[in-house]
Amino acid sequence: MARYLGKETPRVDGIAKVTGQAKYAAEFQVPNVAYGFIVTSTIAKGRIAAVDTAEAERAAGVLRVFTHLNAGRLGKAGAGADGWAWPLQSDRVFFSGQPVALVVAESYEQARHAARLVRLRYREEPHQTDLEAVLSRARPDPESAKAKPRGDARAALQAAPVQVAAEYRIPIEHHNPMEPHAAIAFWEGDALTVFDKTQEVYGVREHLAEGLNVPVEKVRVVSPFVGGAFGSSLKPNYYPSLTAMAARALRRPVKVVYTRAQMFTGHGYRPATVQKVALGADRDGRLQAMVHEAFHNTSAFDDFSDATTRFTRQVYACPNLDAPLKVAATDLPTPTWMRAPGAVSGMFALESAMDELAYALGMDPLALRLANYAETDPDSGKPFSSKALRECYRIGAEKFGWARRSPQPRSMRDGRLLVGWGMASSVWGAMQMPASARVVYRRDGSARVASATSDIGPGTYTVMTMIAAEFLGTRLDQVQFELGDTRQPRAPAQGGSWTTSSVGSAVRGASLAIAGRLLALAQRDAASPLAGVRADAVEMLDGRLRLKADAARGVDIAALMQAAGLDEIAETHEAKPSAERANYASLAHGAQFVEVKVDPDLGTVKVTRVIEVSAVGRILNPLASHSQEIGGVVWGIGMALEEATEVDDRYGRMMNANLQHYHVPVNADIHAIETIFVEEEDTVVNPLSVKGMGELGMVGIPAAIANAVYHATGRRVRDLPITPEKLL
């Protein structure tokens, strides 16, 4: 029935991207732009005792060197004196890699050269960057603490006939999008325009208005293309305010681009976690108790929590549960959300522990999951608005050949290689945030659609174009969708995998409002074939407004608009989550089946086969959606086997701040990946029936791989990444 929704659609912005016409933040051409280069601290904690910028200021092309001694004020007076809210506002150093100066020059090269000539002397203070060393100082995360324990988990654990308990560790990891963070700022009188790499133009706008003390309406933030972000641009980072401050002081446009090394301290990271999981079950494998205690680090000046244990409460039916999260301060930058934040860390621990429980019970790992299948939300008791996880397990197991698995570790081989089969469940939210969109429909059937969302890569331009074309009854090429500008209607950050549900609902709503306006126009004529017809009974298609039930009954839209003297009509719609949602629990689910081959002499692991099955509502664009899940699997492989930010705690510094030593998967690491969707009809979550799907794809993968590695080798690796030395 649908013309576009559900059909494979290539990216509408694909050609612009591959031909270089898509402009990223640093690529906008602004006349007379000056270049800023950030100087970062070399100590982890202390104060700047002396600043010598004389040599840097004498260097060719240098316009000014900003430090805390001469930088314009950012934020309210006193802000940053005790904490670190805004850059260059005090002599305090809270982490290694903190911005301590900004050199602005006529060219990037001149600024970068002069940055090396800035001399800073520090008064160092003792620092602590090791999460293990501050565990005892961890404090309950207030948000997670709102969720109370269920039953009496510790007593039930003691009483359970079968128990497992273990600790799991994940190191700090960094988003490494291709595009570095960048901003260009310029002032026209008291009006500020900033081109920024961001997942939320409205968020950056409010941040800059506060930081530079100008009215919000005077700030415009533009970000039409983002070369990957994964959470690293959810919060406004420090560089846009720094750039805008410098542009104001110099009365010139200024551009600042992070180096790759600066991307390791400039926007947060996935926090390091220590997780203690204890599970108790009866002999049939039914969970009696789950205790999942997580710790992660934050900075010394800012709170952050990624809600590591949040989904533990909803994954399995279990009467007794305690899943607290505690957060401990370290002298590192503040962490932030990174792809599938919390969920992928928490589920690595929980789904590894479930595998350990399966072995303790002598039970098949999939059978154990099924024995604890949550038919209703164990946390709220509410029914799920939809949940096809059982079907995901069934299809995944069948496709993978799970029934042929011999359960004993080290029992399957391929020549000299050890073969391991592992599985895990995944879970993510099905969230919707308030969002607005505007549709301008023209008499010729073309439309301009706008919402200030972002497209960090998942295909938002494409799916919004599809939704508008579907409900306006136009061709795809007649719709122009625009995003990433605070002049457009407000949209939430692109994060949480909620964009299609939120912004898509707004685009749908605005398109239907156009149809409603046209119907009202038609009904001015008492003789109209649509007289007396309700708005939900009509649809737009190929320039006609017609009855859904009787295509022959309708009117020509162009003629209708012409008669009314209208060249175009515009509607703005704000979509909000429906009240009905409150009666249900809504989650996205998935099941992963993984094969690894381990070289017993070298300890190397290859992920040779992955079957990933997801239930995420309806799939609007299968092409982009499969790409999202494949990307999730690839990232899960990286997290399981490769990714780690190495901190040298003696210096409190991240040591591998580059893509040579921070390992991510390359083509040679990736083998067969099959992604499958089990579609769900779920009009409770939103009228488009879509759930969050971008982040889900990686959630179960690290655990499934660790479980497969155990099956292959008999070695249970509980600290990621699973590097070769851990298997020798």
Which residues of this chain interact with ligand MOS, rule CB under 6 A? 199, 230-231, 234, 337-339, 341, 495, 695
C-beta closer to ligand MOS: residue 307 or 510: 307
For residue 331, give the nearest of 657, 96, 139 by alpha carbon: 96
User: Hey, what are 1's tokens?
Assistant: 């029935």
Q: Is 475 helix (H, G, I), strand (E, B) or coil?
A: coil
Q: For residues 453 and 471, what is the distance between their CA atoms, to the nearest angstrom?
A: 20
Q: How far apart are CA 711 and CA 419, in angstroms?
A: 8
CB burial string 424-460: b at 16+ within 10 A, e below: bbbbbbbbbbebbbbbbbbbebbbbbbbbbbbbbbbb
Residue where the block lists tokens 């049939």? 284
Give 560's contacts (C-beta < 8 A, 6+ positions apart). Answer: 518, 521, 522, 545
Residue 263 Cβ vs ligand MOS, minimum distance, rounded to whole Å:
15
- Nearer Cβ to ligand MOS, position 98 or 460? 460
CA distance 199 to 268: 14
Report, in Å, the least distance between residue 336 CB and ligand MOS: 8
- Reported in sequence order, the residue ranges of 454-526 that DSSP labels E, i.e. its strands, are 479-482
Give phi and psi for 133, each to the nearest 5: -75, -15
Q: Which residue has the tokens 């976690």?
A: 273
Residue number, 419 or 431, with CB nearest to ligand MOS: 431
- Is the Cβ of residue 181 or residue 339 nearer to ligand MOS in the bound state? 339
DSSP E strands, 622-719: 647-648, 653-654, 672-677
Residue closer to ligand MOS (CB basis): 368 or 588 = 588
Least distance to ligand MOS from the beta carbon of 199, Å? Answer: 6
253: its two tokens = 């446009």
Nearer to ligand MOS, 682 or 695 (CB): 695
Please, which residue, 234 or 374, has the CB nearer to ligand MOS?
A: 234
Instruction: Name the DSSP class of 150.
Output: B
Identify the active-site residue in 293, 470, 539, 695.
695
CB of 338 to ligand MOS, least distance (A): 6
| DSSP assigned state of 663 | -
CB of 341 to ligand MOS, least distance (A): 5
Q: Are 137 and 686 in contact (CB under 8 A)?
A: no
Asked about 109 being catalytic, the answer comes back as: no
Q: In angstroms, give the least distance from the CB of 497 to ligand MOS.
A: 7
CA distance 426 to 614: 8
The nearest distance, CB 421 to ligand MOS, in angstroms, is: 29
Active-site positions?
A: 695
